[in-house]
Structure formats: C-alpha cells, structure tokens
Chain A
Amino acid sequence: MAGTAALAAVVALSACGAKTDAGGSSDKAAQADVSGDTVKVGLLNSLSGTMAISEVTVRDSLKLAIDEINASGGVLGKKIKPISEDGASDWPTFAEKASKLIKEDRVAATFGCWTSASRKAVKPVFEKNKSLLFYPVQYEGLEESPYIFYTGATTNQQIVPALDYLKSQGKKKIYLVGSDYVFPRTANKIIKAYAKANGMTVLGEDYAPLGSTEFSTIANKVKAAKADAVFNTLNGDSNVAFFKEYKSAGLTAKSMPVVSVSIAEEEVKSIGSQYLAGQLTAWNYYQTTPGAANTKFVKAYKAKYGQGKPTSDPMEAAYTSVYLWKAMVEKAKSFDPEKVKAASDGITFDAPEGKVTVDGASQHIRKTARIGRIGTDGLIEQVWDSGKPIKPDPFLKGYSWASGLS
C-alpha cells in the first residue's frame, strides 16, 4: 500500500515538474512573502573561494539595480529587500543556500550563480519549489529549465560567433584549454563539432581542475602544438596562473592569440593587463560599449563602488536581469512565479548592452555578440559585433553540425 502511494506521489510530482505553462499551479508555488511593504529577493553568489574574484562584482551590480529601482518607487509599490548569501565556490553550498532563500526567507525571486556547476546544483531546488532563478552568466547551452531565466549568452550568442570570427581571421588550427567541469567540457564538445564542419583542426584539449595554479606543462603543450589560436574556457583565478605562464613561455597575442569567454574587465584588472594586452574576448557587453544606457550604468556603478571599478558582461546581465524581472512582475501585476513566467515573452529593456528582448519559449534573451581586444589600459575594445541581437538557440537546433550534440 505504502509503496503504491509513494509511486503515485512520485508520478504526480514528476507530472507537476514537467508542466511548464502557467496552468494555475500557484497554490503549490513557493510562497513568497509579500505581505508587508517590501518584497524580498535572494542574491546567491560566491563571496569567497576561487570564484569570488568574479562573483562579488555580480552581487554589487545586482545591488545597484535594486537600489535604483527602490529609489524610483520599487516594484508594484513595494521596496525590494535583497538577502545576500555566499555560495562559497562550493556547489552543495549553493544548493543549501538556494533552499534557505526560498523556504526560510521566502524570496520572490533569486538572482545569481556563475559556474554551470553551481547552476546545475541549484536547478532542482528551484524546480522543486517552483521559484525563479535569474542566471546572469554566459554558459554552454543545452539546457532549459522552466524556473530559470538565462540573461547571459547561450552558445549561439557567444561561442559560435567567436568561432566565426576566428575563421574569418584565417585561424584554422586551434587548441582548447579549460577548467575541468561542465561548462568547458560541453563548450569544447560544441567547438569540436563546429571545427569539424568548418574545416578547422583541434590540435589538443587540456583541462585543469578549478582553482589549479600549475600551468607550465599546459603552456608547453600549447607552444609545441604551434596552433593558430587558443580557445580558453578557464574559469576563476586559474586564469591568473595560466596567463602568467603563457607569457613566461614566450607566447604572445601576436604569435598565438587566446580567445577567452570568461575573462571580463574585472578579471583583466586583477590578472594584470601586462599579461593580457592584445588577447581576445567574446562577450555581449564591454564597459566601452556605446550608448546612453551604458554611460548611465557605468557612471552609477563607479559612483557607488569607486572610480577604479570596471563594469563587465556578467555584471551587466545581472543588472539587466533585475530590471527584466521588474518589468515581468509589473506586466503580470503579481509576484507569483507562474504569472511572472507567463508574462515574460516579449519583455524588453534598454540595457547597457543595447535593447534586449525576452524569448518566452526558451526563457533566454536576444543579445548582440561582440568580440573585443584587451587594451593596455585594462579595458576591452570591440573589434567586431553581430550587428543585431541574435535569437537564443540553446540547443543549437539551427545548426546542422550540432545535430549530434546535447
């Protein structure tokens, strides 16, 4: 009897989980506490550990957006009260803290996570509790969750344009270096499929554990391979050790450029532009991106956190995500996650990177791809862009070479 009941419960639960529309399951949704004149939101970032170098800036940027929104009257008449938690660069901690934010703090939505490992760790928590996560970092794609909004780039908005750029520059032989976890491994699978279909050769593929600081052998291997370019998917401060070793090995942006997808202005500043000048990055936003919205964002950020602080792509995507959530809530006239989701399609915002639009079906956003070159001043200057926002395609369905993936 008990077994049958348990089975029935499992079936019922999985049916709920599979349901992605707004079909009135609000009674089972996470009970956000919106009784007072404030609405709580969770900020979930690594404030310590190997990822803190990147994630603290995202937290700061989220707080900036929240302050701005509060100053202009809040959301649906309520002031936003952020609850900040430290994921500590540790994936089980992320899941624990996500659960705490949803169940104890009863937040209306959560903003944060950086590594795909942390996102994969919290994904079931948000899905089970039917609570929303706004994820602000570029990632490897091949994922859709009904309770996650992806405001960073998916593969066809970052990695594929970066490969297109390398191809247009005549770089045919590439070497892959990445951190040993889900994002680089999946990204490299996609890169290899692209290379095969586009007449490029992958000369080698090396992974180092997250937080690893010993890169002399990898630098030697890259050097011996005589590649045209290196595609770098290292995350966190392993990049410091890698680029120090890269320069020590005598490799330069001229002899063998490195395209990085996880180094933005903040990381450039702390790694040191003397190691990075001339190297390439692929993102959707740089501090130097033109436009009034960006001028305002950069000015506000520096006023709050110091003139020496640069802005970066994940910070911009995080900042934008709070405004997108606000617009969705206002359109839905409710904080209920199901109603917010239902209202999401077509929501636009004049983001610092330019106008972005939410694609309700995939819960990703339309973004412009930009390739940049790191300057000696630590800023990144755009050398190419896609011209218009690219429609998100997380499963790369629009690319025939990607059919074997996922």
Chain B
Amino acid sequence: MTVIFGQTFTGISIGAVLLLIALGLSLTFGQMNVINMAHGEFIMAGAYTTYVLQKSISSAGLSLLVALPVAFLVSGALGALLEWLLIRRLYLRPLDTLLVTWGVSLMLQQLARDIFGAPNVQTRAPELLTGNITVIGGDDPLTFANSRLFILGLAIAAVVALSLTLRLTPLGRRIRAVVQNRDLAEVSGISTGRVDRTAFFIGSGLAGVAGVALTLVGPIGPTMGTNVIIDAFLVIVVGGIGQLKGSVIVAFVLGVLQSVLEYSTTVSVAKVLVLVAIVAFLQWRPQGLYTLRTRSLV
C-alpha cells in the first residue's frame, strides 16, 4: 500500500517537473505558433542563474528564493531578445522558426560551455529541501521528499499565475484576442508585435523558473536543455497545442504512467512503453496535433 502511495507521489512529482518545463513552451508555441527549439536553453539559463547566484549568496535557501525571480527575468529577457532579433521576422514561416531557433539553441549551448566550462556543475540545495516528511509512520513509512514537494508547489503556483494572467489582466485579454484572430486584434488597436514579445517574455521566463527547479533534481550542464525539450513538446502535442488545461493533465498522467511502469519494469523499458502509449494515443485522438485553428489558452 505504501508503495502505491509512494509511487503515485513520485509520478506526480515527475509530472510537476514535466509541467514546469512545458508550461512556458505552451504559451510561445500555442500563442504564436513558434516552434522554439531554444526553449531548453532558456531552462539551462535559469539553472545557471541559480548557480551564479549561489556563488555570491552563501545561504542556499536565500539564493534559491532570489534565483526564482532573477531566473524568470534573465530567461524572459533572452526570450524577448530572441523574439525581437529573429522570430518576429518569421511569424508566418513555422518551419523556419524551428531551424532558426535550433541554431540559436546550439549557439547558446556553446556560449554556456565557454562561460561555465564543459563539465556539468551542481548547486547546493537548502538543508530544508534535502530531507523528507513522514506521511505515514510505522515499519513501512511513507515519506515525501521535501524538494519534490517544493517543485510541485512551484508548478501549481506557475500554472495558477499564468492562468490568472491570461483570464483577468488586460495583457491576458490582449493575448487571447491575438490568438483568436490576429488581424481583427490588430485593427482593434492592439499592438500585436508588443503582445507577442510580452508573451514570449513570460513563456521564456517560465522556462527560467523550470531551470531553477531542475537544479534541485540533478546536475546543471550545457546540454541539459536538449534532455528535457522533447518531453516538453510531447506534453504539449498530446495535450493539445495551446491548451493549458491539456498540458496540466497530460504532464501528470505521463508522470504517473512513467513512475508506475518504471516500478514494474525498468527505466529503459518504461521510457519505450510511454512513447508507445503516446503514439497509440495520437492515433486514436490526433486532435492534439490539429487544434491550431481553434487554439485558445484558457
């Protein structure tokens, strides 16, 4: 019984990581139809921001808290810069955005290698986050890792914040208007260029936040973005492009599926089975792929 609860929690925590890395992409991919291959490198930028901050702030807890907003700003600024320099010239050519952002991602990886060195680096987690809490005591205790709870909380907070921004703020209304009908929004007096850049800023900033979370799980390196970007695209495509709700559900379902399969088979077999399940799902419900016309964010 403990095992079932433990694995479910593990699955949810894997899902929370997936959700965090996919959330920003869901905004930029869904909003502007831009396949941003450099999204993984924005995650990396967030992780390295944490690393740099920890070098100047000795308290691991404080540096983590400072890293969250700073990483959001750093990655967001990188995203806005990328949008302004390149992507805004390519809005009607999605395949070109793929190629261009892929090139940018390779350049950013090399840049990270030149600045921080090729070997991966680590950050110290705050003492509080290295332990666990006991949910059920006794001979066969059920414990939840504090770092995983923190990531789960972060993912929920990010989803709520993004959802509220899109629903309630003037900016959110403008983003939704542009998504539903770009031309009509334009003639209604909305500066679509500015909306695009702001959305890109927020989406990339969320990647930075995901990067901070990933420093609690594993090492930080120039290629860490490429390791997670595929998972992020899977979550969005299966969930339905631009569907925030879809991304949330799929992230957690895939997380739980992965952890259950890993427990009953092996890590490698579980990865294969999850991919098979995704392919089968898309055969049955390809709408995930074809929601471009009716895409909406809330």
Contact = CB atoms under 8 A, between A and B. Distances in A.
Nearest to B222: A48
A217 B274 CA distance: 15
Interface string B105-126: 0000000010000111110110
A108 B262 CA distance: 47
Interface in A309-327: none
A249 B132 contact: yes
Given A47-B118, A274-B124, A221 B267 contact: no
Interface in B96-155: 113, 118-122, 124-125, 130-132, 134, 141, 143, 145-148
B123 to A, nearest CB: 9
A207 B130 contact: no
A221 B267 CA distance: 12
A217 B267 contact: yes
Given A48-B222, A237-B219, A248-B147, A224 B3 contact: yes
B259 interface: yes
A249 B143 CA distance: 7
B272 to A, nearest CB: 11
B36 interface: no
Contacts of B267: 180, 206-209, 212, 214, 217-218
B118 A214 contact: no
Contacts of A48: 113, 118-119, 222
Contact of A221 (B113, B124, B143, B263): B263
Given A206-B267, A249-B132, A241 B219 contact: yes
B50 interface: no
Bin chain A's interface residue count. Answer: 35 or more
Interface stretch (A49-57, A156-164, A285-293): A49-57
A245 B145 contact: yes
Interface in B195-221: 214, 216-219, 221
Given A240-B218, A247-B130, A180 B120 contact: no
B33 interface: no
Interface residues of B, number: 41
A281 B189 CA distance: 67
Contacts of A207: 266-268
Contacts of A217: 7, 10, 259, 262-263, 267
B117 to A, nearest CB: 8
Contacts of B31: none
A398 interface: no
Contacts of B13: 216
A53 B223 CA distance: 14
Contact of A49 (B10, B125, B143, B223): B223
B227 A211 contact: yes
B218 A52 contact: no
Contact of A250 (B125, B143, B221, B222): B143
A48 B119 CA distance: 6
Contacts of B10: 216-217, 220
A242 to B, nearest CB: 9
A43 to B, nearest CB: 15
A244 B122 CA distance: 11
Contacts of B132: 248-250
B14 interface: yes
B288 interface: no
A295 interface: no
B120 A248 contact: no
Contacts of B94: none
Nearest to B130: A247
B69 interface: no
Nearest to A205: B266
A375 interface: no
Contacts of B268: 180, 207, 209
Interface in B1-45: 2-3, 6-7, 10, 13-14
Given A214-B218, A240-B218, 12 more contacts: A47-B118, A48-B113, A56-B119, A216-B145, A217-B10, A221-B263, A241-B218, A241-B219, A244-B130, A244-B216, A247-B130, A274-B124
28 contacts: A48-B119, A52-B118, A86-B118, A180-B268, A206-B266, A207-B267, A209-B271, A211-B227, A212-B267, A213-B218, A216-B145, A216-B259, A217-B7, A217-B10, A217-B262, A220-B263, A224-B6, A237-B218, A241-B217, A244-B217, A247-B130, A248-B147, A249-B143, A250-B131, A250-B132, A270-B122, A272-B122, A272-B124
Closest 9 CB pairs of A and B: A213-B218, A248-B145, A48-B118, A241-B218, A52-B119, A217-B262, A237-B219, A216-B10, A240-B219
